[in-house]
Structure 1
Amino acid sequence: MSAEPAFHTPPETIAVDGVELRYRRGGSGEPVLFLGGAEFTRRWLPFFAELAGAVELIVPEGPGFGETEAPPWLDGHDDLVLFYRDVLDAFGLADVHLVGYSLGGWIAAELAVFYPRRLRSLTLVAPQGLRVPGVPRADLFLVSHAARAELIFNGAAGRYQDYLSEGDEQETFFRSYAASRAEALLAWNPRYDRKLDRRLAAVRCPALVLAAEEDRVVPRPHAERYAELLPQGRLEVVAGGEEPTAHGLLAQEPAAVAAAIAEFVAASAPPNPS
């Protein structure tokens, strides 16, 4: 039996495209699908609990991450775009509020480009996926697991071990290796979508881009560029309390991030039929 991390809750399972997709679900109200990155899997985070107090939140663990196995067809970010289209169908969601964090922000942006009618709103949190000349993102493939954690939390990873540990040292190593392998399939080469900046004009829904104050993984100009390119995009910087927010802002300021998303979702919801 594998070790369990802090905030762990048993996942539910739904079959999509031959994948036994693990997911967690909570709350009621406007439907929100959250696409995460390589970090913070196998957990119902305090951030999720906060957000589920205002919406119906569905949090799948993407193929190759957490407790969802990587299928043999996973070879690039475009595979995930098609997969998440089918995930929407599997959950019976004709349209949805889509939230993406880090790598999941990239996938969410791509999904919004190719299936704009399926989205009520789009929220990107510290998103990857764009090339910003002169402002590269950190190369997480060249650093150790420990160094990666320090980049995510700007040198303060020791304060967030509940978010980083998978329960014991062996399980942490195994899970981080599996996640790195899946991440490499999606974002090794290229590490951004060369066409995404031009294609973002196709996004039709309201869009919110949340940025950290001092993001050492995906510097703030990447979020700023997304906000500029999205037709209805706007940027909001999430401020920290005791320290400036970092790429791990979901762990640092869960209530503030959840409140910003909940407010935006409420403002973007379709009117109730009279």
Structure 2
Amino acid sequence: MRNHLILLSGWGLGSAALEPLAASLRAQDAGLQVELVALPEWVTDDPNVWLDKLDRHLSKDTWLGGWSLGGMLAAELAARRGDRCCGLLTLASNLSFVARPDWPDGMAADTFEAFVDGCRGHTSVTLKRFKSLCSKGAQEQKSILRQLEVGVPDTDPVLLVNGLKILGQLDTRAALQAYGGPQLHLFAGADELVPAKAARALSDLLPDVEVGLVEDASHAFILEYPQDLAAAIKTFLHESGDD
């Protein structure tokens, strides 16, 4: 189904933040079916369990993509599906959200652990801080922050912590190297959560895939530049779909 794109949401905010991008995609390509999927709420912090269930529940032979954690899960799922995935696109998704000895372009491990502890003990405060970090670097930060407040699901703190633990475990480098289909990875130049230099590191790792950097944009660039991102995605889908 080369006219079907599944987009997975990021952590903690539900799929509402992806609605403007989805609307722009539909407006620019009337034949494209865009399906937004919120991250699962499962009482487990095992990434393989999440991926098993996503694989069972999501349509196959589609394009897969996602924002932030959603993009990382889409990358792993694309590698699992191989030829049964038309292509992959990620939006502000690091290969490893947490820095590792061989991947320094992530969040410091102690900073991430403090964030997890904060979510466990002070969930509402942590979510407020997270939304602020998502919008930081935006040209109109207050406007983006207001948009991030819309449609946020009321999620059990235990499930939010599990999502963070998944985020901390994932390292998509092997998956991206294993997946042979077309790939597009878009990053934001002023992202407070995913360093812009991760885009260059990805290009060095996989020089044959498409990597783009939107300058002066926040982690929530899906809300800042939905039309521009939709145009880039449309071009990628059509050019790759014609291969």
* Match in the other structure for 2:34: 57
1:250 Cα offset (Å):
0.4
187 and 150 in structure 1: CA distance in 2 versus 1, 3 angstrom threshold:
closer
* Match in the other structure for 1:32: 5
Q: Which residue among 194, 201, 209 is the counterpart of 1:233?
A: 209
Structure of higher RCO (CA pairs closer than 8 Å, 6+ residues apart):
2
Conservation of the 8 A alpha-carbon contact between 2:79 and 2:179: yes
Which protein has the bigger helix share? Answer: 2
Runs of 4+ in structure 1 displaced over 6 angstroms? none
Conservation of the 8 A alpha-carbon contact between 2:45 and 2:165: no
SS at match of 1:217: coil
* Match in the other structure for 2:67: 101
164 and 268 in structure 1: CA distance in 2 versus 1, 3 angstrom threshold:
same
232 and 184 in structure 1: CA distance in 2 versus 1, 3 angstrom threshold:
farther
Q: Which residue among 149, 152, 156 is the counterpart of 1:165?
A: 149
1:183 Cα offset (Å):
4.1
Structure-2 separation of matches of 1:120 and 1:249:
24
Which entry has the higher C-alpha Rg, 1 or 2?
A: 1
**TM-score, scaled relative to structure 2:** 0.78
Structure-1 separation of matches of 2:106 and 2:2:
38
* Match in the other structure for 1:127: 93
Conservation of the 8 A alpha-carbon contact between 1:116 and 1:204: yes
1:189 Cα offset (Å):
6.6
SS at match of 2:198: helix
30 and 116 in structure 1: CA distance in 2 versus 1, 3 angstrom threshold:
same
1:114 Cα offset (Å):
1.7
**TM-score, scaled relative to structure 1:** 0.70
**Paired residues, what number?**
221
Quote the sequence identity (%).
23
1:84 Cα offset (Å):
2.0
Letter in 2 for 1:86: R
Cα deviation 1:34-54 (Å, max 9, x = unaligned): 111125425362211001221
* Match in the other structure for 1:261: 233
* Match in the other structure for 1:81: 51
* Match in the other structure for 1:154: 136
* Match in the other structure for 2:121: none
86 and 260 in structure 1: CA distance in 2 versus 1, 3 angstrom threshold:
same
181 and 230 in structure 1: CA distance in 2 versus 1, 3 angstrom threshold:
farther
1:186 Cα offset (Å):
3.5
